[in-house]
Amino acid sequence: MEISSSVKKKIEEWEHGPYDQKTKEEISFLLKNNPHELIDSFCETLNFGTGGIRAKMGVGINRLNQYTISFATQGLANYITSLNIKNPKVLIGFDNRHNSKFFASVAARVLAKNNIKVFLFENLRPTPLISFGCRYKNCTAAINITASHNTKEYNGYKVFWSDGGQVLPPHDEEIIQHYSKIESINDVKISKEDDFTNIEIIDSEIDIAYLEKLFSMELYKKEKSNGLKIIYSPLHGSGITIIPKCLNEGGFKNVIIVKEQETIDPDFTNAKKPNPEEKETLKFGIASLLKNNGDIFIATDPDADRVGVVININNSPYIFTGNEMAAIMLDYICRNETLSKNSACVKSIVTTKLLNEIAKSYDIRCFEVLTGFKYIAEKISIWESDKSLKFIFGSEESLGYLYETFVRDKDAVASSLLIAKIASEAKKNKKNLLNVLYEIYKKNGLFREALYSFQFEASEAGLEKMNDKVEKIRSHPLKIIANFEVVKIEDFLKGKIYNILENTKSILDLPFSNVLRYTLSDKTTITIRPSGTEPKIKVYISVETHDIKNIEEDIKKLDEKLKSFYGIILDILN
């Protein structure tokens, strides 16, 4: 296989430059045995996106390794230095993945050499603890080495700013600019492995402070032991470090850990796809739920920012979607929180419209933001600054929730406790969480959602074809879908709302993003969004009815309607 001159030059820089022997041997091995992989490893520089980096591990500038971690950190250090902040500090955490602890130490050594104080976790911790710790330690920024729910080949580099939320403009753009100027290891300052100048190792201090803050809140106040039987799985990840303790201190003494997924394991031996949205990943927990006659099974992803929920109904499991749990949690918060006319919740544009109806029923406001929890965190910061509104809940359909504001990312630790409390209340009232959900439907309307993904070839041609499909739909707007008239089109890239019935045009008050949303005459919404990281178009469909006669029959009808849209969307894309 022929290697281009530009790629060859980059490979030779690593072969003959100041890189370790193991790296050089790996390059030689790939050159002989897998040149395609070697070319891919050096064909381009890792993309530092608006939230950081997520990529496969390996040698080269297009993989995560100790050198690319150091490049990213030097870029961050250069930006922080440019701000002339007095005594800058950065907190660093990591998850259970291969190299996570090592990468965290590399990042710490780079920052330390740049005269930036570092708080480095000794052991793995959940993402919400990194966000909380950043605020608690009054840090300028924080880094979390994690690839969240990706498979074992991946790792990531996630950057938070001083408010504890993922970096937003202008900081994200400035960090990217500084990162792009780092061309080789010669541009990096890094201290020796045994030099701990400017590095302070921390561990349980943040856990203790987090739990104290959590239990000081009325909604999370500790209870005496109750009879709820909980099955819990960390999916081999960081949730094991604090969630069982959090549940126990909250009064939930009957917690059974799923043995097959209890150990901290970078290979995810019994959770090959460590995502609580994956039914296959939940099988061990479901088996334990039924075997032990448990009430509820809670599973968190490796960095414990997402939480999945399954309940036991007469020895049959019911798996909740993220939309269903968000509705249950918001309704519970509204019933138990002291609300005011300034109370508000936030959801992503692809999260269930049921939240809007729940908010309306409690006379509070519900705001939409682009996909990405950083936009929910941004709302909290804005409202705290201008004192206009009070945040009470934020959610994304992909199992991400937040109630408390001392964390600025989705929090599976606090959410696990809140979900247990809601399940406990239901049990005391001779109900379960599905009964609670049905009551919410009866009050607010029945909403059902589906996500369909349409894959394209993993190549430049595939990405181009994907973007062409979306652009074609944008330039030739659909007028009728599934025999229903299109009444509204929201084009997030152009920042425009087109009201077809009234023949009017208005401004869409959100940042520009390559998303299209169609509203049909029967209130169905279809949201089309190309993935930013892979050649895949995601289509989110929401259907609803407010004429509920038999809730289970009505659910079946709506679910059949959702299924019928798959072929229709496929035809549109083709």
- Please name which of 336, 356, 358 lies closest in space to residue 403, comparing C-alpha atoms: 336
Name the active-site residue from 148, 162, 381, 416.
148
CA–CA separation, 345 vs 391, rounded Å? 6
Phi, psi (deg, nearest 5) at residue 118: -120, 130
- Please name which of 295, 159, 152 lies closest in space to residue 235, comparing C-alpha atoms: 152
Where do the DSSP E strands lie in 203-315? 230-233, 255-257, 296-300, 307-313
CA–CA separation, 100 vs 84, rounded Å? 30
Helices (H) then strands (E): counts for the chain: 17, 23
Please report where in the chains the tokens 């803050």 appear, as a residue.
213
- Does the active-site annotation cover 148? yes
Please report where in the chains the tokens 């060859």 appear, as a residue.
8
Q: Which of the 8 DSSP states describes residue 60?
A: S
**Residue 394 CB neighbour total at 10 angstroms:** 30
User: Parallel, antiparallel, or unpaired for β 504-507 and 496-499?
Assistant: antiparallel
- Which tokens is 120 given? 């480095």
**Under 8 Å between Cβ of 505 and 487:** no
Phi, psi (deg, nearest 5) at residue 417: -65, -45
Please report where in the chains the tokens 């330039």 appear, as a residue.
475
- Which tokens is 468 given? 């062409």
CA–CA separation, 7 vs 315, rounded Å? 58
**Under 8 Å between Cβ of 329 and 417:** no
**Under 8 Å between Cβ of 429 and 526:** no
Give the angle subtended at the CA of 242 by the CAs of 240 and 243, to the nearest 5°.
75
**Residue 317 CB neighbour total at 10 angstroms:** 17
Where do the DSSP E strands lie in 460-503? 480-481, 484-491, 496-499
- Please name which of 322, 339, 472 lies closest in space to residue 396, comparing C-alpha atoms: 322
**How long is the chain?**
574
CA–CA separation, 494 vs 475, rounded Å? 11
- Which tokens is 428 given? 């005391």
Catalytic residues: 148
